[in-house]
Structure 1
């Protein structure tokens, strides 16, 4: 099907057309995308298994079918079976968020455990190859192919395709906020096509931010059955009592719609949010954020090893950059500054110098031109920045010396932005929660726009990281940082 000049392998999901017809194409593209992911995982697994089997099996060609063939078949079967059992192909997790890769990693770990137990039981000497070579290679291959598919899907969504038509139901203020967020982040796959409010009216008659208001909150189920929305997003409103929500869930049974309820909580999600049934009452259980324990120990090890490896890889580049900085303007190659780290302890951060000597003293003269948000001081065309410095800032090369801070333990590879002492002095109790973890070389702020973000949005992202931290989230942030650095968005 040709759309917008490109050929799409999935049917378009154009959403509600206002003509009373069902939006079946939305379900079609979801199923076809899921089948494509399953096929990709199967082909990637088969390719890795066949390549390893052929490479190592030629050394023992006489027993190929007896030894290597059986192990290869069992490995592929275990990997695909683990993916199915862990619901790594569930449509709800495909195409967005860290949960997709978390389930993928959990599935492959399960396959490793079963292979190890099988090898012990069968006293097989060849099982180590499949545990330490085959499964890691499968993990790398499947993650890369899924990421490529995700990039394609996100590009389609930015062009208005492959979106789930959504009916939003709640107060005008909360629905309006949801509309704004879905338009700002189309890669999440939602498009608000219709709205139901308490009185059936929007801010301007029958529309709310350009989206048609099709009825009252009591009419939600009727509109879903007639117009075939894929998602019913229930936002806070006094109308939504437990009885009414339960009745809405019953009325949506038998339709293709997924009901999503926004709890009246702070922004907590991911591994900290659980649903429990206590005395027959469904309760949202919010577990405490993890600041210690095994996962934090793993993060510490990854930080130190990762920093050491990156310093070795970037050592030639850093030497060249240091020379360019010195030759471009008077002064040293490095710039040192006091920052605030975990638990409010100050440390010295290292960066390549990007400004002229004495830039800190000249800041007061530029205070009236400040373009930064909140407590931050930023200028898009800062006269203190050198020629080499502007290039270093655009591609975040000036931050490479912070790898020494990570290596010594004062920073992490991923975390909130390291604030200045004067910024911390103005923090309220809520913002000070940023100091519960180590600041990071990169973070959610880095991949979400950096200096283009408002102060409130930057704080929200940092607090979200503190509250919802996980190893999978760190992996996603590190992966996305590369693209953010290459495009240079928000860097000045």
Structure 2
């Protein structure tokens, strides 16, 4: 996928008008309709299908308040309640569809609440209903809706590659803050915004501001953020944000960084946007803090933001270990034929040992022996000194895209990360986790800055955010940032998402060498 990167330039008001695209209100309404139709079809199919699977085509019914009703009518009642709950939980809200796990969580929560409440109502009303039918409809329907939502999301992501189904956004703030937000939006394939303009607190590089619209100074200087494929025009200063949003047809105004003109800036901007369909979004300066750790606690009109301190002990870590133990054990049994076959191929390739073990640093700085399938020649470590001058790795890591020490089968193993499968033994034994930071070498840890040691607060992982975000193509700073973000914000739901993304990365390898 080609990611178009923006360039920030100072343009006149006439040049700032972007090419028209579908507004958020239009595409959101169309997308919600598609989701509604799909959800309805799946829920009806699951409830009515459960009826036929349980009872066949024989007449079957339930007693409701002394009256007997057929299960077809009961299925329609359950389906209607289910659809109502999906609407109440805003599962088709444009702010959650297409990105993150919030959409899936809302679907699951709405579905479980529906069946929980119906079970209570049926129990209190003494409704004679077959438990098999009732229990069968829930998992079939939930899985069906989740799968359809995933399919629609893949379609939506593909559409957004061509700048369709995006919300038009105006980014407001200081130049550095706007620079960062615009970069992040355009570098993430799942981002739902198309930045059509920027409003700065000061015009950069010789431009001066007149009546809220920046006019290029002589020479027409501009500043390039990333690459020239796309220009993000500076359309106003902070006083002209509301007018610029109206002129550009912006669906969203994103305030990047702090409120630059004082505490009244955001409030005044909100007043100016009243009566329009434009949303106001604040880009938090709480970098690398995940949403679940942030809570708002208003005190007498003062909006306090409470940030939970990361915990590295406790029940959820016990649950993570139990998950690792059972999943790795099952994976070892299921993959044992493949493991034996790969070991045989490695042995036949150069008659060397199939496994390679190396000392790595785990949680709290404790060392352990990490296992991998050998993908290099037997004397690879002895040859390392001669290759140091050709190091293409980031920071403390040695990497070469065409490392001469890699064997013939080793290239294949590395491309699809099959050389890392023996680490399932490390996960099963408790030295590693299925998901976590990359396991470092002792020499790497010795070169860590103080804050980087936080990577060792939890167990290293077989996969992690580094695996699904570019692997060896990442810079050292970016790999550290991703690891630290995971350490402080991990969750079992997030682990499942990373594991799913890992499967996708293995089928389309990026940065694997």
Normalised to the residue count of structure 1, the TM-score between the two structures is 0.90
Partner of 1:12: none
2:130 to 126, 133, 141: 126
> What is the 5 A alignment of 1:15-26?
18-19=16-17, 25-26=23-24
Corresponding position of 2:83: 80
Following superposition, the deviation at residue 279 of structure 1 comes to 2.1
Q: Check the 8 A contact 1:21/1:226 in 2, yes or no.
A: no
For 1:63-74, list aligned pairs within 5 A.
63=61, 66=69, 68-69=71-72, 71-74=74-77
SS in 2 for 1:354: coil
Q: Which has the larger radius of gyration?
A: 2
What residue in structure 2 maps to residue 393 of structure 1? 414
Deviation at 1:208, TM superposition (A): 4.5
Confirm or deny: 8 A CA contact 2:22 2:165 kept in the other structure. no
RMSD: 2.5
Corresponding residue of 1:341? 362
Partner Cα distance (1:450, 1:43) in 2: 40
Task: Give the deviation of 1:71 after TM superposition.
Answer: 4.9
Q: Is the 8 A contact 1:171 1:197 kept in 2?
A: yes
Report the CA distance between 1:295 and its aligned residue. Answer: 3.5
Mapped partners of 1:348, 1:336: distance in 2: 6
Q: Name the counterpart of 1:426.
A: 447
Say if 2:216 is the partner of 1:195.
no
Structure 1: gaps of 5 or more residues: 1-15
Range moving further from structure 2, 54-63 or 381-390: 54-63
1:379-434 Cα distance to aligned partner (Å, 9 max, x none):
10111111111101101111111112222222222111111121112222321222
Equivalent of residue 184 in structure 1, options 183, 187, 192: 187
Of residues 444-453 and 302-311 in structure 1, the stretch that sits farther from structure 2 once superposed is 302-311
Which shifted more, 169-178 or 118-127? 118-127
Matches of 1:20 and 1:440 in 2, distance apart? 45
Q: Which residue of 2 aligns with 1:3?
A: none
Q: CA deviation at 1:294?
A: 4.0
Is residue 23–residue 228 contact of structure 1 (8 Å, CA) maintained in 2?
no
| Contact 2:320–2:492 (8 Å) recurs in 1 | yes
Given that residues 57 and 68 in structure 1 are in contact (C-alpha distance below 8 angstroms), is that contact kept between their aligned partners in structure 2?
A: no
Cα distance between partner residues in 2 of 1:80 and 1:298: 33
Structure 1 pair 20–212 and aligned structure 2 pair: CA distance change class (3 A): closer
Whether the aligned pair in 2 keeps the contact of 1:176 and 1:208 (CA below 8 Å) is no
Distance 2:158 2:328 in 1: 32
Q: Which moved more, 1:446-455 or 1:224-233?
A: 224-233
Shift of 1:453: 0.8
The answer to whether the 8 Å contact 1:200/1:214 transfers is no
- Structure possessing the higher relative contact order (Cα contacts under 8 Å, 6 or more residues apart): 2
**Counterpart in the other structure of 1:34:** 32
Q: What is the aligned counterpart of 1:242 among 259, 263, 272?
A: 263
1:378 pairs, out of 399, 419, 422, with: 399
Corresponding residue of 1:10: none
Does the C-alpha gap of structure 1 residues 232 and 489 become closer, same or farther in structure 2, counting only changes over 3 Å?
same
| Structure 1 residues 212-251: aligned runs within 5 Å | 212-236=233-257, 239-251=260-272
Query: Any unmatched runs of 5+ in structure 2?
Result: 1-13, 63-67, 208-215, 225-230
Report the equivalent of 1:172: 175
Distance 1:244 1:143 in 2: 41
Structure with higher helix content: 1
Task: Provide the rounded CA distance (Å) in 1 between the counterparts of 2:261 and 2:102.
Answer: 29
The structure 1 residue matched to 2:113, chosen from 110, 114, 128, is 110
Q: 262, 265, 279: which is aligned to 1:258?
A: 279
Distance in 1 (CA, whole Å) between partners of 2:130 and 2:252 is 49
